[in-house]
Structure 1
């Protein structure tokens, strides 16, 4: 029996998503240069030609991975309420994204640094410019409400702090004390201690903290 147009549409979406997810995983593991189209489509279990069909080529596939990262950032839940509640929501959302989207985080971190892919990241940033500015302004308004002398610098330094945690978690994996880092960030912003820990993977909470690169290898 022939498939309906709706079934064909769903199949196409699944194939495209499989390619995108395989690209995220392999870019995270090997970098963009180290991951071939053949390896990506092999992991996705689709024909090689579908990369050109859905994306137009490897460079466009890289751009789609970066777009996925931006979509994840802007899709994070934001807390409602006063400035303190919203700040806690920003912190928690960033750390949750770090814990549950680590391959994507690792892939994009590498793309931000490598000369061969930095241009693609910059172009994606331009595509998402309106959303980037809106997100920055929302955080700056939050700091303004908290009485900051320079809300722009406060927003930049919050982003710098959270991005630093992302990098360390990418390096050290489950041995990095993500929950303890969360509570430290709360303290430096004079926020009430969180009532509950984030639902993180084992190894990120209690005990004597000794981050080791082997923790990322085990991931």
Structure 2
């Protein structure tokens, strides 16, 4: 039997890594962060326990990469949803809806993710995060920013702040209100993207 080519080995590594990322999202969504072990994740992914440590230095880093993958996939799906968004304002609206919608639709996963970012390990620039950043950067450029390198970090910060506000225990902000504020900030019409209702909420609601 001939040895596998370098490209075949690389594809196997990519698939193993993605299985681990998917298993992480599934298990933490089901059980929560503390109740999920690396051994659980390896078992769900159908890989050896040692592969987890080969790809990721720890569970926090694995979770960040897994959530960044989900965010990238959700954003990409939103931008490519038929009819494909070509107008920059529509693309930005879809981007806001995709990221903010994850806080509404997957609160446990996103709350755990944000808590991890605020701990000592901080923000990790993994391949999944870089793909997400590239897509958001392109969205800012398509919107017409004269300086996407400066405006992308601002968009990222505003989205992170809105996600935290949706998830804040005891004092969450309504999704619709935050969406309206972000749309106002960027001069976007309410009916762009995927509006949660026919009209924006009244001011102060």
- Assess same fold via TM > 0.5: yes
Residues in 2 aligned to 1:156 and 1:16: alpha-carbon distance in whole angstroms: 25
Residues in 2 aligned to 1:92 and 1:151: alpha-carbon distance in whole angstroms: 20
Q: 1:163 aligns with which of 141, 160, 164?
A: 160
What does residue 139 of structure 2 align with? Answer: 139
Q: 1:26 aligns with which of 27, 32, 54?
A: 32
The answer to which of 161-170 and 72-81 deviates more is: 72-81
CA-CA distance at 1:37 after TM superposition: 3.7
* 2:140/2:151 contact within 8 Å kept: yes
Describe the SS at the equivalent of 1:159: helix
Deviations 1:46-67 (A, max 9, x none): 89xx983673599544433222
What does residue 128 of structure 1 align with? Answer: 128
* 2:25/2:67 contact within 8 Å kept: no
Residues in 2 aligned to 1:139 and 1:59: alpha-carbon distance in whole angstroms: 31
Residues in 1 aligned to 2:168 and 2:162: alpha-carbon distance in whole angstroms: 10
Residues in 1 aligned to 2:22 and 2:98: alpha-carbon distance in whole angstroms: 24
What does residue 70 of structure 2 align with? Answer: 72
Describe the SS at the equivalent of 2:196: coil
Describe the SS at the equivalent of 2:32: helix
Q: How many residues align?
A: 172
Residues in 2 aligned to 1:129 and 1:208: alpha-carbon distance in whole angstroms: 34
What does residue 191 of structure 1 align with? Answer: 188
Residues in 2 aligned to 1:56 and 1:18: alpha-carbon distance in whole angstroms: 15
**Structure number with larger C-alpha Rg:** 1
What does residue 15 of structure 2 align with? Answer: none
- Structure 2 stretches of 5 or more lacking a match? 1-18
* 2:96/2:159 contact within 8 Å kept: yes
* 2:166/2:175 contact within 8 Å kept: yes
Residues in 2 aligned to 1:158 and 1:88: alpha-carbon distance in whole angstroms: 12
CA-CA distance at 1:174 after TM superposition: 8.7
- Structure 1 stretches of 5 or more lacking a match? 1-13, 200-204, 210-219
More relative contact order, 1 or 2 (CA 8 Å, 6+ apart): 2
Q: 2:49 aligns with which of 47, 52, 74?
A: 52
Deviations 1:21-71 (A, max 9, x none): 3335422xx6xxxx5749x95xx9x89xx9836735995444332222111
Deviations 1:131-158 (A, max 9, x none): 1452243023224x3xx34333222222
CA-CA distance at 1:128 after TM superposition: 3.3
Deviations 1:157-179 (A, max 9, x none): 22211110101111147952111
What does residue 88 of structure 2 align with? Answer: 83
